[in-house]
A and B are shown apart, each in its own frame.
Chain A
């Protein structure tokens, strides 16, 4: 066990340093990209319901905006720390760069627990946040979005305050808004569909016919539900889906060799994302232990639930039939397991490429807001497909040409794009 506090920012910097080394980045660029380019620290006084005044700490970090306006969420968390926000803002820069959308990275937060605040007080926190930052954010500067413990309603308060201060309508100042109030259609499906667009291209490159493939999904939540839906639509056979059972407080794998029907699964899902075991059994579905999804004789594994699911301990249980693992969740594969999979020649598509459909859709929301013209859902999906496909192909090509893993290739491509931008601008 190493000594000293775990620090997310140091961790992110170390990761960056590793890739910078591979690319051979110069010292000045490294120095610039190792830290946020701008940081705002401020106080938000709020008059509470009981008449007292409480002062909250707010932060906004813009890690880098060389490729376009900064983009990233605003978190409300009682134990928020500056370093966490710094780390997350850096992560956003890479994430936007890998899918090649013209945005930089940012993150913000307020130290508060909404569980202890009434709606009115939360509204005051939101408006106070924007008042402190109004000249430093904007549709062409920095575009916040919902994050931990914030949602569309907070975004609308913030948008409204921004518009009140600037005296005009700027729906593009913020994303994550409800449809009809500047939100984009297709947001619900975006991440899950994005995963499968990438998968489809990968299979094409690997020369595998998707209609002849079988897959096992971990999780049946926001990402997995729609990923499975599109995968089935493209002709793939879903052999297993694992999901959390809230009653038993454990997870189960639902398996049907002939293939599970996504629409049926939707019909037996409750608001927890738990599937009804009895109804499943009646449908001829086997119920297996939670980990069994990983041990299936399938071509594709889609871990789309939690981080750290494929570990050194269980990586050996993955069958030889598995050719592709696509990371729908954040960080589902532990580094040691990643190494083993690489040695075995399994094609692993890294999380921040595979699940970038969400951020891409936020970008689309921003674009639609700025031109005040909103697309139909089909159009959103079509553009998402195009974006994800070309992002994948770029990473894939680099990995082949430079003999890199897909993960390393994705990092290299994104960091390189940002580095190029700061240089082109003559910043370094």
Chain B
């Protein structure tokens, strides 16, 4: 074939022919599927168009005979150069098509007619046949529908007879199956005589009377008219005409799905075939939903299983909301390789289900009617398998079984390898169609893997999502899209998701990567593209800022521009937080506070550079605020002490101090209620709390993603054992509890409520805050707890709580407020409001304690344990009655405190746990500045520090001693920790320079090894502090560590020691 292609005179010629044929077929398909046309109109149009598909349209004439009626192009004459093809309905010929050339045409080596042209005429004949069947069936149904009112009075016999007679002519196979169903129906109705037909008629008698364990004999097909005659005669005796008609009608309806069912049932199922059959099926089913039918239910559920997900939980919910009809819309937007057995993947299926739930529930909740889902295309999960095969890259599948270290080294190479591979041409073609359909609007290419987004394993942030500006020439856009898809494919082999799967026992489960190609919601604003707002919302609010907010009131994190900023906690910016169940209760209420915690940056697509970038929100507003649709709903104007919501005519974008508050959206639109309803409906219908992503262009709210709300690793509800000995419990709580586990708390800073209350002068009260700030800088980060009376961060009347700012507490792991009624008043706790958003972004927990409400509170432990304050901060010794620093391991023979919090139970406990090693397996997601407390991380560091010291020539470098301090020494170092060393140095400047170089080499090498082991890239792992004799004499801040009572430095053995 390929040879012919090139041997022919011109390639171009061939291509033109091909194009003609396709055009012709396309037009004919269009005519046949137009149900508005009468048969005569249809056939006339067909003969008119057909010549355009042949080599010499001007000389080509067509005649079509159907049911004895003939249609032909003007000037048709019989000719020796002719080709004829029968039109069949079922197995019966009902007409034919003839194509002729009216005069001699140049002969090709295939003959007067090309091979392709012969195929074309056959295809057209076949399509006409199929259409005839569908149309006739339809007209029968319609006739039946019309005659129904009378049928109650008339016998109704004529109706089913019409159908049966028609089938007898058109499709005996269908009739045979209907007979079988009729017999079964009779048997079910207790008319046992029906079995006689079975025994008499061979096609049905298979197995009758034979041994069950013996293979049935295959018998030849019998005469269908005879069986039909017998069956219906029999049925007439026992059933009313109406009943027969009704059943026959239903069975015919079911017959339409026959090829779809065949496709679903084929082994192995071919997704492409199923999709083709759905496309065909959707043309012939009636528009309205019919009453319950087991067959339709079976088709629906099968399609859910095959196309979406086979997970029983998913199917159970999905089957209530997704019928086979719902697939009609998306089948045109699924990209499938030839032999695919893939699905849409987790994200794709989740979003599709959510969309369908919201569509159906909008009848009950009209507010949902305007919620949209962006135009989405799907690349099925196993396209990646096809891709790997096509490029002979199957070996990559082994990647997951390699040492993490190895796969980390190889990963950059893999990305390049994949990006330089070729997409199968078929997929490239489909992607090209996608681009034509979407047009030049920005798109996002998102992962939708099989394992992703199922309850308990959300893979959030593990696989890639890539924004494309999708502008420029088609070629450029297509390349960018392919590149993005390949990059998402590459992320399957990234060590991070592999590690994630390993930790969750999902490594051996086969992972495949589907892709979602979604239009990005937003507007072109100047040289940028971004939505007015976007964000995430959760059914359960794990960050309650007021006792009035219930957990089920939910949480929205909203930000300007692309939602990328709302998804993760930010270290240097804030999102707007709203509890959709209590939208009136806001985190920040004072204008200054609102301004302070307002979003200051925006993620957007820069249409000039075609890149996703983070821009300064104020600058964007200044540059193109005027052009942002509905901008007045996004910003408020800040005037000293006042935040004003102004109309856009009153805003001067170049001059005014604008703060993003979304006040106009929150109180002026139904957006918050919409999101609240989405959360409520989805969690109610799926039976679990959900986590959604949304965006808005200012006009409509779009749902971008929906999945079960999983607990981020640090916010999972902690199991609280019931058998903790009471002596090990330091405190318990039963109100306003969040979720989480904090382990390895080595120090407790306890500000004694009674002591604090006794302080008589303002300076001492202020000094307490200072002491806390100093301890914050001194104690091991995230390994101490702050426990104090009333409101941490009180500013006005500081008797009510310790006067600290966020900087004074930013290293704690948890902030605990104690409300004691016996100190005269029951303080209303702050819930951390003074720095609530800071706490959220830093992942610092908050817990209120009510010791006088029947909770455990081991006061003696807090007030009687040895107080380390004088040793740590001699200058604050006078406060030792009030501020108590407890080293838990020293007080409890090496134990540490853990705090277990469970919001579901509204319970929390602080317990003494015996060993670091008793922890649950390390599962926590690393925070920006925090580490997984991984045993191996510190052991390795400890060993390397000892090893390095043992190679250090003290005399050569002028070193007197080397000490280790900090997390490595304490066995708490994580993958991002430093190794802190104190070097007692007495050499010359040049020795010092040499020593620094020597250490620097070690530092770089160790940090490289650390990266390979853990994926944490640290710039130099050694943190070295030099001390001189003088420093030690004057007890500078590091020198005191050498003989510190709390956390003494550990002396390392040097070379030769």
- Write the residues of chain A forming the contact surface with B, with a CB cutoff of 8 angstroms: 1-6, 8, 11, 49, 75, 77-81, 84, 113-122, 146, 148-153, 176, 178-179, 183, 187-188, 222, 247, 249-250, 270-272, 308, 334
A116 touches B643 (CB 8 A): no
- Distance, CA A266 to CA B795, complexed state (A): 27
**Most B Cβ at <10 Å: residue of A8, A115, A152, A179:** A115
**Most A Cβ at <10 Å: residue of B583, B595, B600, B644:** B644
A6 touches B759 (CB 8 A): yes
Specify which of A116, A249, A308 is in contact with B810 (CB 8 Å cutoff): A249
Q: Which residue of A lies closest to B790 (CB)?
A: A79
B591 touches A3 (CB 8 A): no
What chain B residues lie within 8 Å of A6 (beta carbons)?
A: 759-762, 764-765, 799
- Write the residues of chain B forming the contact surface with A, with a CB cutoff of 8 angstroms: 545-548, 571-572, 582-587, 589-591, 595-596, 598, 600, 639-644, 659, 667, 757-766, 790-791, 794-797, 799-800, 806-807, 810, 825, 827-828, 831, 833, 878-879, 881
Specify which of A75, A119, A188 is in contact with B639 (CB 8 Å cutoff): A188
A115 and B546 in contact (CB under 8 A), knowing A151-B641, A270-B600?
yes
Specify which of B643, B759, B796, B810 is in contact with A84 (CB 8 Å cutoff): B796
What chain B residues lie within 8 Å of A247 (beta carbons)?
A: 571-572
**Most B Cβ at <10 Å: residue of A1, A149, A152:** A1
What chain A residues lie within 8 Å of B795 (beta carbons)?
A: 148
Interface of B is mostly: loop
Specify which of A4, A116, A148, A250 is in contact with B547 (CB 8 Å cutoff): A116
What chain A residues lie within 8 Å of B572 (beta carbons)?
A: 247
What chain B residues lie within 8 Å of A84 (beta carbons)?
A: 796-797
Q: Which residue of B lies closest to A336 (CB)?
A: B763
A153 touches B642 (CB 8 A): yes
Q: Which residue of B lies closest to A109 (CB)?
A: B796
- Distance, CA A222 to CA B766, complexed state (A): 24
A118 and B600 in contact (CB under 8 A), knowing A4-B760, A84-B797?
no
Q: Which residue of B lies closest to A273 (CB)?
A: B596
B761 touches A1 (CB 8 A): yes
Q: Which residue of A lies closest to B642 (CB)?
A: A152
What chain A residues lie within 8 Å of B827 (beta carbons)?
A: 79
B667 touches A176 (CB 8 A): no
Determine how close the nearest CB of chain B comes to the CB of A259; give it in whole angstroms: 26
A151 touches B590 (CB 8 A): yes
A75 touches B796 (CB 8 A): yes
**Most A Cβ at <10 Å: residue of B546, B571, B796, B800:** B796
Determine how close the nearest CB of chain A comes to the CB of B832; give it in whole angstroms: 10
Determine how close the nearest CB of chain A comes to the CB of B364; give it in whole angstroms: 24
What chain A residues lie within 8 Å of B760 (beta carbons)?
A: 1-6
A78 and B828 in contact (CB under 8 A), knowing A6-B762, A247-B572?
yes
What chain B residues lie within 8 Å of A4 (beta carbons)?
A: 758, 760
Determine how close the nearest CB of chain A comes to the CB of B134; give it in whole angstroms: 59
What chain A residues lie within 8 Å of B790 (beta carbons)?
A: 79
For this complex, 21 residue pairs linking A to B, each with C-beta atoms less than 8 Å apart, are: A1-B761, A1-B764, A5-B799, A6-B760, A6-B761, A79-B791, A79-B794, A79-B800, A79-B827, A81-B797, A115-B585, A115-B587, A116-B546, A149-B590, A150-B590, A151-B643, A152-B641, A152-B642, A176-B641, A222-B640, A249-B810
What chain A residues lie within 8 Å of B586 (beta carbons)?
A: 115
Determine how close the nearest CB of chain B comes to the CB of A334; give it in whole angstroms: 8
A116 and B806 in contact (CB under 8 A), knowing A6-B762, A79-B797, A151-B641?
no
What chain A residues lie within 8 Å of B546 (beta carbons)?
A: 113, 115-116
B806 touches A178 (CB 8 A): no
B796 touches A148 (CB 8 A): yes
What chain A residues lie within 8 Å of B585 (beta carbons)?
A: 115-118
Q: Which residue of B lies closest to A178 (CB)?
A: B642
B766 touches A308 (CB 8 A): yes
- Distance, CA A383 to CA B545, complexed state (A): 45
What chain A residues lie within 8 Å of B639 (beta carbons)?
A: 152, 178-179, 183, 188
A187 touches B640 (CB 8 A): yes
Specify which of B584, B659, B766, B833 is in contact with A118 (CB 8 Å cutoff): B584
Q: Which residue of A lies closest to B639 (CB)?
A: A178
Closest 6 CB pairs between A and B? A118-B584, A152-B642, A2-B760, A249-B807, A79-B800, A114-B589
Determine how close the nearest CB of chain B comes to the CB of A306; give it in whole angstroms: 9
Specify which of B596, B761, B879 is in contact with A2 (CB 8 Å cutoff): B761
A271 touches B796 (CB 8 A): no
A250 touches B797 (CB 8 A): no
- Distance, CA A79 to CA B833, complexed state (A): 14
A49 and B584 in contact (CB under 8 A), knowing A6-B762, A79-B797, A116-B548?
yes
Not counting A5-B758, A150-B590, a sample of 20 additional A-B residue pairs whose C-beta atoms are within 8 angstroms of each other reads A2-B760, A6-B759, A6-B764, A8-B797, A49-B584, A77-B796, A78-B791, A84-B797, A115-B587, A118-B583, A119-B584, A151-B590, A151-B642, A152-B639, A178-B639, A247-B572, A249-B807, A249-B810, A250-B807, A271-B596
